[in-house]
């Protein structure tokens, strides 16, 4: 399972073509898992266990498959930076936000703005890219308007476990900035290498950050069946599956494809949260989600796709 492949093979393989959609479906469950696990554990303790168990799984896989490790210390350093941002920072923010009373749907909606930040950053920093168009500015405005509608609804009419306040909003936006920075950093500095050893390095760096914070938490971990199930899916489905797919997509240059699909995560998460946790979807919330999704799609859509000549 390496990022290197013969030229054209990635485009011809149905599995490679399906990776973005599979990734989005798996990624959507991350916010649901947080709702399942957080009543029984503090966020950083949960994540420290998740990182440690994931490292163990990757370690066994690496030994059995005789996987090569990154070739230089510089590569290890860059992987460690992305691990801190995309695992400790992103997941820590989401888990802490949910622990502080934010619903799965709202946390997914906030983090779902990542494609907007990525598109704006690339446009501003890469001179070879065209300037932000009127369509993209319109999309940005719509995305922010939709988010404000949902946030205002959760502040004024939120229920326990599904509300917005200054603390959980701070955590959620911190997660948004962290996943955006991690994605951009990985794309810029991390050279292609085996996804298994790369993930092992990233998770080890994330564990180094999470473990001291976990020792500072006063709440104990209660290993109920619900928490054990959340942990199992977090390790096997989200870390070994979702994070590996994200790494592959970024390295294969398919980050734009992920961005175009990522705005489907919030509505999917909201529907699942309604079914599992009875998180209400009011008309205001529904309108906000739809407006945000349309706004994000306008920002990340390429000019070719707008004119009907998509690749």
Residue 162 structure tokens = 């599904």
Measured distance CA(46)–CA(43) in Å, rounded: 5
Instruction: Give, for all 311 residues of the chain, the pLDDT tens digit.
Output: 444 444 444 444 666 666 777 777 787 888 889 988 999 999 999 999 999 999 999 999 899 999 999 989 999 999 999 999 999 999 999 999 999 999 888 888 888 788 778 777 877 776 666 666 778 778 778 877 888 888 887 887 777 778 889 999 999 999 999 999 998 898 889 888 888 899 999 999 999 999 999 999 999 999 999 999 999 999 998 888 887 777 677 666 655 555 556 667 777 788 888 888 887 778 887 888 888 778 777 766 655 544 333 33
> Is the CB of residue 81 less than 8 Å from the CB of residue 185?
yes
Provide φ and ψ at 45, rounded to 5°. Answer: -70, -45
- pTM attached to this predicted model: 0.79
Residue 185 structure tokens = 């950093």
Residue 167 structure tokens = 């603390």
C-alpha pair distances (Å), 137 with each of 97, 125, 217: 28, 17, 42
The alpha helices in the chain, defined as continuous H runs, are 9-12, 14-37, 43-65, 73-83, 90-99, 104-111, 114-125, 134-157, 166-189, 195-216, 225-233, 244-251, 255-262, 265-277, 283-300, 303-306
**Domain boundary assignment for the chain:** 22-306
């Amino acid at each position: 399972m390496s990022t290197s492949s013969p030229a054209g093979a990635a485009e011809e393989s149905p599995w490679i073509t399906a990776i973005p959609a599979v990734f989005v479906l798996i990624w959507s469950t991350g916010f649901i898992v947080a709702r399942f696990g957080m009543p029984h554990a503090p966020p950083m303790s949960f994540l420290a266990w998740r990182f440690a168990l994931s490292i163990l799984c990757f370690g066994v896989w690496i030994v059995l498959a005789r996987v090569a490790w990154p070739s230089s210390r510089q590569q290890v350093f860059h992987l460690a930076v992305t691990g801190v941002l995309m695992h400790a920072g992103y997941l820590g923010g989401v888990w802490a936000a949910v622990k502080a009373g934010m619903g799965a749907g709202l946390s997914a909606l906030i983090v779902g703005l990542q494609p907007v930040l990525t598109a704006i950053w690339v446009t501003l920093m890469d001179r070879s890219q065209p300037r932000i168009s009127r369509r993209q500015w319109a999309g940005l405005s719509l995305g922010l308007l939709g988010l404000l509608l949902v946030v205002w609804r959760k502040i004024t009419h939120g229920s326990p476990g599904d509300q917005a306040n200054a603390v959980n909003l701070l955590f959620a936006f911190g997660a948004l900035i962290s996943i955006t920075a991690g994605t951009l950093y990985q794309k810029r500095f991390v050279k292609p290498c085996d996804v298994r050893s790369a993930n092992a390095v990233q998770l080890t760096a994330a564990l180094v950050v999470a473990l001291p914070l976990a020792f500072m938490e006063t709440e104990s971990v209660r290993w109920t069946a619900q928490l054990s199930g959340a942990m199992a899916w977090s390790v096997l489905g989200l870390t070994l599956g979702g994070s590996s797919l994200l790494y592959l997509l970024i390295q294969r240059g398919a980050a734009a494809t992920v961005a175009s699909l990522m705005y489907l995560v919030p509505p999917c998460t909201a529907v699942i949260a309604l079914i599992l946790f009875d998180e209400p979807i009011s008309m205001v919330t529904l309108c906000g989600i739809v407006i945000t999704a349309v706004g994000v799609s306008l920002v990340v859509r390429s000019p070719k796709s707008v004119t009907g000549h998509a690749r």
